[in-house]
Chain A
Amino acid sequence: MKCTKCGGKAVISVLQHHLGLCKEHYLEWVPGQVARAIQKYRMFAKTDRILAAVSGGKDSLSLWDILHRLGYQVDGLYICLGIDGGVNYSNESQRLSQQFAAQHGLTLHVVDIPQVYGESIPQIASRTFRGRGAPCSVCGLAKRHEMNRLARDLGYDVLVTGHNLDDEAAVLFSNTLRWAGGFLARQGPVLEADQPGLARKAKPLCRMYERDMTAYALLRGIEYIYDECPYALGATSIYYKELLNKLESDQPGAKLNFYLSFLQAKEGGLFAPQADPDRAQMHPCPSCGQSTTAEGLCSFCRMMGGES
């Protein structure tokens, strides 16, 4: 296969865009695509202060790399979850995030959950009803809460996460299987900060395939954590991603089309605000100030044992 741009030897095919690209042109193409998504969905501007949530994985480190290269002011936030799982997961992912920051002269904020709250994610999970079975629900809630808290406390204009198209398509697929109107109404490339205590959020990689981000990290030489979080094993999201990849293999572009046509349908009014009745009842949590639909304390503060 030849590079569509220069005719040299291609190192990767991007079937959903009918492209073959050499290393040089691939490393140029990816940031270009991300820049277009940032503009199209009006995510943020060069004057904004951006906080990137980094996990040490390929997507978030590549996102940080790309935004920095595109000339945005972007700092990192690493949340240490206290997960070992026999692969030293949290320590290793923190080390790789810190290494990336140091190599590029970037600022990384670190929040250590066990240090701040006295318990690791698996410990919180084993003590709470929410955590029965797997700690992922506890983990997701804690990460969301801490990202909001830090983005707001440190005065950032927008929080960005490394969600790629496969992440978004898997969530969309799962929400569609249940016709979860509220979730569908809220899913998108940007979440406005229209509720007290919540930061503005954007997903600049929402149109990039997970495969394309892996290739970017490899070709750019970004060292990322390859081992999965031990609790991800058997996650439904992985199952949905595999299903969608099966579809994609037979119909290149199917994943992208699924997500983009959803956004279009939403723009056209398919998911009216009434689909999301919870939103109308949001109020600030009396303890942390973040908006919640729960009565009284937000789910995070309740999980952590009342007033803090």
Chain B
Amino acid sequence: MTDWQPVKIITRGKEYEVRPGMAVKHALEKINILPESVIVTRNGELITEDELLAPGDVLKLVMVISGG
């Protein structure tokens, strides 16, 4: 069992969990999302890729690419 709370990452219709303590950039790598294709927000605020993630953080990813 883990004694830490994971970081939750929510995107269009999907949810992931990663370990706290790593940087946003690293977390995106883990879930196979290019930083160039998303804007990362935490509690409604934009954060940069070097930001470290704390236990229990909830990130929402705003997808950048639109088509048509």
Question: Is A48 among interface residues, defined by CB-CB distance under 8 A?
Answer: no
List residues 44-68 of chain B with CB under 8 A from any CB of chain A: 45-51, 62, 64-68
* A214 interface neighbour in B35, B39, B47, B49, Cβ under 8 Å: B39
Chain A interface residue bracket vs B? 20 to 34
A120 at the binding interface (Cβ < 8 Å): no
Task: Answer whether residue A228 sits at the interface, using C-beta atoms and an 8 A cutoff.
Answer: yes
Q: Which residues of A contact B3 (CB under 8 A)?
A: none
List A215-245 residues whose CB lies under 8 Å from chain B: 215, 218-219, 226, 228-229, 231-233, 235, 237-238, 241-242, 245
Q: Decide if the interface of chain A is mainly helix, strand, loop or mixed.
A: helix
* Nearest opposing residue in chain B for A59, CB measure: B66
B37 close to chain A: CB less than 8 A: yes
Q: Is the interface of B mostly helix, strand, loop or mixed?
A: loop
The residue that B46 contacts in the complex, of A219, A235, A248, with Cβ under 8 A, is: A219
Whether the Cβ atoms of B48 and A13 lie closer than 8 Å is yes
B 20-40 contacts with A by CB, 8 A? 34-39
Q: Are B50 and A136 in contact (CB under 8 A)?
A: no
Residues of B within 8 A of A238 (CB): 65-67
Contacts of A249 in B (CB 8 A): 34-36
Does B68 lie within 8 Å of A228, measured CB to CB? yes
Q: In the assembly, what is the distance between CA of A136 and CA of B51, in Å?
A: 40
Q: Mark A184-227, 1 if CB is under 8 A from B, else 0.
A: 00000000000000000000000000110011001100000010
| B residues in contact with A218, CB < 8 Å | 39, 41, 46, 62
- Which of chain B's residues has its CB closest to A11's CB? B46
Known contacts A211-B36, A248-B36; A20/B48 CB under 8 A:
yes
CA gap between A12 and B24 in the complex, in Å: 12
Chain B residues with CB below 8 A from A59, complex form:
66
Measured CB to CB, the nearest residue on chain A to B37 is A245
A residues within 8 A CB of B36?
Answer: 211, 245, 248-249
Closest chain B residue to A134, Cβ basis? B68
Within residues 38 to 67 of chain A, which ones have a CB less than 8 A from any CB in chain B? Answer: 57-59
> Smallest Cβ distance from A293 to chain B, in angstroms?
24
What are 14 A-to-B residue pairs whose CB atoms are below 8 Å?
A: A1-B51, A12-B46, A57-B66, A58-B66, A139-B68, A215-B46, A219-B46, A229-B67, A229-B68, A232-B66, A233-B67, A238-B65, A242-B34, A249-B36
Q: 10 additional contacts, CB 8 Å, given A136-B68, A210-B64, A229-B68? A: A12-B48, A13-B48, A57-B66, A58-B66, A211-B64, A214-B64, A218-B46, A232-B66, A232-B67, A238-B65
Chain A interface residues toward B at CB < 8 A:
1, 10-13, 20, 23, 57-59, 136, 139, 166, 210-211, 214-215, 218-219, 226, 228-229, 231-233, 235, 237-238, 241-242, 245-246, 248-249
